[in-house]
Amino acid sequence: MNITIILIILLVGAIVTYCSGNRFASKVATLFSVAAAIFSVALYINHGATGATFNIDWISNPNISFSLKADGLGIAMLLLTTVLLPIIILTSHNREYKNEKLLYSLVMFMAFAMAGAFLSSDALLYYVFWEMSLIPIYFIIVIWGNGEIVKRRKAAMTFFLFTFTGSLFMLAAIIFLYTKTGSFQLEAFYNANLTSTEQLWVFLAFFLAYAIKIPIFPFHIWQANVYQKAPAIGTMLLAGVMSKMGAYSVIRWQLPVTPEAAHELRPYILILCTIGVIYGATLALRQKELKRLLAYASLSHVGFIAAGAYSLTFDGIEGAVILILAHGFGIVAMFYSADILHSRTNTLEIAELGGIKWLAPKFAVAFFISILSSIGIPLTFNFVGEFVILYGLYQVNIWYALFVGSSLILGAFFMLRMLQNVMLGEPYKLPFRDLSKSEVLAFAILILVLIFFGIYSKPVTDLVRSSLGDIVMYINR
């Protein structure tokens, strides 16, 4: 199967969605997103962990190829993108937006860029896709975001400048590696003969780009405002997929290229990750607005993912990939819940909510299960990733596992307290409509994934194990 078909579907989908007009934009976007998901599943069924590649010459001087690699890790990230995309679009069907054709075409183009970044095996092509994904989310926040236009512009500009600046350091590292290898190909970078000093600088250049994107403490200062100001569809794309580009890139592009520097700096990076995990959970405890609470909860979770990746152990990295997938589906369910609450009550202030379960029992059940997954209850997808990460950290030093693991207690406390304040208590005094059929469908898919792979995660581990084994071999060479 030619893996470019999926990228073509997403790109053509963006164009056709815009041309279809406001009346049909959401339906056309749904159609193309479902098609991309079906082809991604077909790619997984036909190739699985063995993967598929595509390569054609693009530019002769310098030597740049349109080179794609869909191994087990790449297919896992592609599935995360293309399966979440129609769900995210479905969650917006009951919302009215101005200029819908532009909104949904930007969503499709953003998915195209992110999928391209996950599949690229040519560094410059990867950088092009990485940067392209910034453009649509900037306009999504500015045009359709929440609150005053001035604050939306400020949040979007802060995010853009932070991410773009970090990306320039990554580009400098890519160009330097090209001068050392004469190629932009991933395999050439893996086999680059770098001195200890060169590895250190390349590692730091990549780290700045990825630490901002994930984000890792203290490069997170853009996150809460952006998640709060972005519309629900933008927040779900940001938290569910875009933040995973950074974590994926750590595993794919940074660690195998600079293994010596990674081992040397591991203690310092793990300390930052540990601080971020606890700091995010602590700040979430203090939040009175639901989206900001979820933003800081997400900061804690992605710090967990980063700690697993930077443990440099096979189990830690495998757990990071599992949690990337689990957090992607789980955080979309949580921000979707926040969007439903906001659309029906016109507030996200936790103190102004309460007693929703009496009026919307189906929503209360979906909200409760989403929270259970978020706090890593056994038999949920998050639990598998968190457990494997803690085991990987234990292999490095038991104290990392203990401190990072302490966030699970904090997470359970603030999430269950939030559940009590939002769902329990006296019945909500104003009308509150329960879930519609499309909302039930969206939640059903998300919850099915979170529970199924929490009970039976073997398909995920079988998919990524071979490619992660190759990466860990380079890390520990």
Residue 133: predicted pLDDT: 92
In whole angstroms, give the CA distance from residue 475 to residue 250: 12
Angle at 287 between CA 281 and CA 290, to 5 degrees: 100
In whole angstroms, give the CA distance from residue 239 to residue 207: 19
In whole angstroms, give the CA distance from residue 19 to residue 29: 11
pTM: 0.92
Residue 127 has a CB neighbour count (10 Å cut-off) of: 20
Structural tokens at position 282: 């602590």
Structural tokens at position 402: 């203990």
Digitized pLDDT (tens) for each residue of the chain, 477 residues in all: 678 999 999 999 999 999 988 888 889 999 999 999 999 999 998 887 777 888 887 777 777 888 898 899 999 999 999 999 999 999 888 778 888 899 999 999 999 999 999 999 999 999 999 999 999 999 999 998 887 788 888 888 888 888 889 899 999 999 999 988 888 898 999 988 889 899 999 999 999 999 998 888 888 888 888 888 889 899 999 999 998 999 999 999 999 999 999 999 999 999 999 999 999 888 888 888 888 899 888 888 888 999 999 999 999 999 999 999 999 999 999 999 999 998 888 888 888 888 888 888 899 999 999 999 988 899 999 999 999 999 999 998 999 899 888 888 888 888 888 988 888 878 777 888 888 888 999 999 999 999 999 999 999 999 999 999 999 999 987
425 contact partners, CB below 8 Å, separation of at least 6: 354, 355
Which residue range(s) make up the domain with 415?
Answer: 4-475
40 near 8, Cβ under 8 Å?
A: no
Structural tokens at position 338: 């926040």
User: 216: burial class by Cβ within 10 Å (0-12, 13-18, 19+)?
Assistant: buried
- Segment holding 70, helix H or strand E: strand 64-70
243 near 163, Cβ under 8 Å?
A: no
Residue 9: predicted pLDDT: 95
Structural tokens at position 84: 């979440």
> Which residue type does 11 have?
L
Q: Residue 240 carries which DSSP code?
A: I
In whole angstroms, give the CA distance from residue 283 to residue 414: 10
Q: Give me the residues paired with residue 64 across strands.
A: 59
In whole angstroms, give the CA distance from residue 136 to residue 231: 13
223 near 299, Cβ under 8 Å?
A: yes
Residue 37 has a CB neighbour count (10 Å cut-off) of: 21
Structural tokens at position 397: 């030093």
How would you classify the pairing of strands 64-70 and 52-59? antiparallel
| DSSP SS3 for 60 | coil
Structural tokens at position 52: 């598929």
Tell me the CA distances in angstroms from 112 to 9, 108, 134, 159, one per residue in order. 8, 6, 12, 20
Strands (DSSP E) along 329-473, which ranges? Answer: none
51 near 252, Cβ under 8 Å?
A: no
Q: Which residue has the tokens 């086999």?
A: 191
Helices (H), 48-133: 72-91, 100-119, 123-132
Integer-rounded Cα Rg, in Å, for the chain is 21
424 contact partners, CB below 8 Å, separation of at least 6: 354, 355, 357
43 near 30, Cβ under 8 Å?
A: no
Kindly report the backbone phi and psi dihedral angles of residue 63, in degrees, each rounded to the nearest multiple of 5, phi listed first.
-75, 100
In whole angstroms, give the CA distance from residue 110 to residue 390: 33
Residue 1: predicted pLDDT: 62
In whole angstroms, give the CA distance from residue 198 to residue 200: 5
Q: Give the total number of structural domains in the chain.
A: 1
